[in-house]
Structure 1
């Protein structure tokens, strides 16, 4: 029987950036003779079926490389630095807060140790381009145990797009999870309406009244729920209160429509639901300021196993939404179609600008219209706390070819195009 640990680290409440549902994939590995590296990203926990042999041996639900050997009869053992590796493209770029390296069911064939590196490469790099990229160590080489889910906290504020798992000298790892905060490129959202609550754009189910049967994080997960267990379901209430989930949106936005989906919930759908919103951009705290919440959708009757669609006219920015269900029950998904406000877009852009590597930040500024020297100087001024700090940093820039004037106007225009400030 397996004795795999279940990590309870706080970061496991964050989105798994390496989820296949979000678009993650294995783009390269040096060795997976025994078991495919793609198994690292399988959503469900690893399974073990004893005495199930293929032509390469016991079939393992994970990534397993062949046994390494030394270079000669006199040196039969691998060198200390010999290792195998797999590169994973994150489904969405973001700031990594924690890692799970799970050796479930690998007992006599787990690696002695492992390390994890990360890189930020815009666009759609090839394996050769990834090999030549600058990699940053997130987890130094650390001993592993067999049949264990190892949880490692990460302290790094950089936005990354790829991770590389290194195992020393060889062996098997069942699953890799990369938990963090989604941080989209704001330029990709300009002019678009999208689901402001969706995980893939940075929406987070940050609080819930109940998660007895299933997680509130399912509410804003990608795609449609295929079974009831892929939604959010509460236990049966025996009091006169109600259940709820609070979602922080991708950014301050104008919410135009909502979809409240009870698909698969037949005998346990809520009877009614309403939506309330909060605008944290004015300085309040949604967890403490009860009076600051306002109506987004009045209490409305729900039907079982139904996708309910509502057009909304909120008339004010929203950064957080709480869905209240009465009295209890389950929802498959909550979708909130809308667009970022100018202030919401600017706040997202500043978070992104502060988090990307220096070379990427400078390149984006140059593309927007700054000279290379100006882009480098403004990048060096990071982190920039707010729009006022951006304005002050831009004012400090001086042209290399004479008086300011038109240069100041050009700089302001370039910075506005990128950061909305």
Structure 2
């Protein structure tokens, strides 16, 4: 954990950021995010869900590249939720926060309640998830969307599901925070038309000066639903982070279609992944890296594949010898400490593991490097580093937090 002196240093550092500052509204709105475990029975293979998500995102990025329309996917075994009001007066819906997809929709659980501000467009909208076994299909509406008590978006587009298939973990739908181009192809009769996201409309309506949102999490310490994160539109929460350093969105496809960056990764002093493109996606449960990089990581850590969970299992002695995992992004290095590389032991039995075992959260993305989609910096990365998503300047910012070096896992 941080010492009192280092905590003070971080707080003082938070008063400034490196690079050009993000211009935002005078009062950024910060909203709580709750983490919820799936109510599914039996062992849940989160790793396979993450791999399926990565494969679908890679496919969608490539089909967009060639003018087609792919299939986004959401990881809903462990979901991160935000309460969203829709209508006047608003009905509250619990939506999954997803930076890897861009459509917002409701109706998986709580039905849409129309009010005087509802506008029925009649446009059919459909989004498929993964292989197509999960999807929502319905009609586009426009209505007033409310976040918290002080942030409203008049005439926001969203889908109202007539049918859904698959498990959305008790959520009412999804809040899509990915780039707007990912919505292409979801309006059935207008496949070339994109749908403005909530961030797009906050900017176009003048509520925020630039299209910026930021996300922060705290490590999980209890095996139940808990508020452990924040979503901020229009800026950052200054006392949550140190200096922010920005890196441009990668130009390498298909990662460039998402919140994609270039980075290299080293385990200790050994480079396991040379500079390449991938994405930042808080709705991916693990950190996924190219197969060749994962093979090196497994060899260096001495981990063995656990048949019950599919994750790398290490002994206490191997954990004691674990080295830092360094993410080299632009001019900065973001270090995932040994504790940041392991699954929260309080959730071991949830994934079918042994209560006292030590599992690593780094795993194989399923394809070799050189595909233009060679890593996914998932939730374990966002849990340790503050993330700023800046559409207006096509960049992502990262910063240390009070939990970067935490030992809670």
TM-score interval for Structure 1 and Structure 2 normalised by the shorter chain? under 0.3
- With normalisation by structure 1, the TM-score equals 0.25
Larger radius of gyration: 1
